[in-house]
Structure 1
Amino acid sequence: MSKKKKILLWILGLLVVAFISFQIVIGRIEQNLSGLEALPLADIDLEQAQDGVYIGSYAAFPVEAEVEVEIENHKIVSVTLLEHRHGQGANAEILTEVVVQAQSLDVDQVAGATYSSKVILKAIEDALLKASN
């Protein structure tokens, strides 16, 4: 076999491996995000929340969020986004302010940033559940 044919076979083999790897990654992303929109949020009773600062996080590859929630006198005083890995979901970061204003997780998600919206809300939910236990 000539050197050119060997090189072409190697390149073809690498392309096949790259294609299969790409399909696996895309499949994993679709699987993780497919049920995210319908995922329910807990109904948090802020009267049960203890004063303090609580860290919450949630991840649905490739979107992740970590928040810090401050509770004082059974009210959400602040929500700080510590980390947010996202694709096109940066607009969802406004939800930290919206949740403080609404004093609830029952807020509208940001159009065009639905996955990030849900992940940020689930991270806030995680922190609020810690505050209520």
Structure 2
Amino acid sequence: MRKNKWFRIVVIVIVIVATGSVLIYSTLSDNLEKLTNEPIHDVELSEIPDGSYVGEYSVFPVHVKVEVLMKDHEISDIVILEHDHGKGADAEAITDTILEQQSLDVDAVSGATYSSLVIIKAVEDALIH
């Protein structure tokens, strides 16, 4: 009788963990699909005065806050102030690509697509607002 009780408990725990995993995966998949389908507006840099601009963007489980520095109508620096990223730390390299190309129309960092897109959207937020 005792073995039967422990077996039931183990089965219940497995079902709960499996259900939770499916829900989390589904949420992440939905968020990534929405994120990849959301347009990124390439900002007209010639219209942005020199200065410091802060922007942020969040899509579960990633949150990014950046400071974008403008000088002579070019992005002179992007400072990541916050990046809650899970495994997406490599995405931070995308700021170098944005600086080099002076554009938000850049490819995501391979293996860190989710965080890359959130960083781009945070930079966009800084420059649009």
TM-score range, shorter chain: 0.7 to 0.9
Q: In structure 2, give the amino acid aligned to 1:23.
A: V
Q: How does 1:29-68 map to 2 (within 5 A)?
A: 29-68=28-67
Name the structure 2 match of 1:18. Answer: 17
Segments of structure 1 that go 5 or more residues without pairing to the other structure are: none
User: Does the residue aligned with 1:36 lie in a helix, a strand or coil?
Assistant: helix
Whole-angstrom CA distance in 2 between matches of 1:45 and 1:112: 29
Name the structure 2 match of 1:90. Answer: 89
Give, in angstroms, the shift of residue 24 of structure 1.
1.0
Q: In structure 2, give the amino acid aligned to 1:84.
A: H
Give, in angstroms, the shift of residue 42 of structure 1.
0.9
Give, in angstroms, the shift of residue 76 of structure 1.
1.3
C-alpha change, 1:73 and 1:33, in structure 2 (3 Å) is same
Whole-angstrom CA distance in 2 between matches of 1:22 and 1:110: 26
The sequence identity of aligned pairs, in percent, is 41
C-alpha change, 1:26 and 1:109, in structure 2 (3 Å) is closer
Name the structure 2 match of 1:100. Answer: 99
Whole-angstrom CA distance in 1 between matches of 2:19 and 2:105: 40
Q: In structure 2, give the amino acid aligned to 1:11.
A: V
TM-score with structure 1 setting the length: 0.82
CA contact (8 A) 1:37 1:114 kept: no
Q: In structure 1, give the amino acid aligned to 2:42.
A: D
CA contact (8 A) 1:51 1:70 kept: yes
Give, in angstroms, the shift of residue 87 of structure 1.
4.6
Q: In structure 2, give the amino acid aligned to 1:62.
A: P
Give, in angstroms, the shift of residue 92 of structure 1.
2.4
Segments of structure 2 that go 5 or more residues without pairing to the other structure are: none
User: Does the residue aligned with 2:49 lie in a helix, a strand or coil?
Assistant: coil
Whole-angstrom CA distance in 2 between matches of 1:18 and 1:107: 38
Whole-angstrom CA distance in 1 between matches of 2:15 and 2:110: 37
Is 1:70 aligned to residue 69 of structure 2?
yes
Whole-angstrom CA distance in 2 between matches of 1:87 and 1:18: 20
Give, in angstroms, the shift of residue 30 of structure 1.
0.9
Give, in angstroms, the shift of residue 88 of structure 1.
4.3
User: Does the residue aligned with 2:91 lie in a helix, a strand or coil?
Assistant: helix
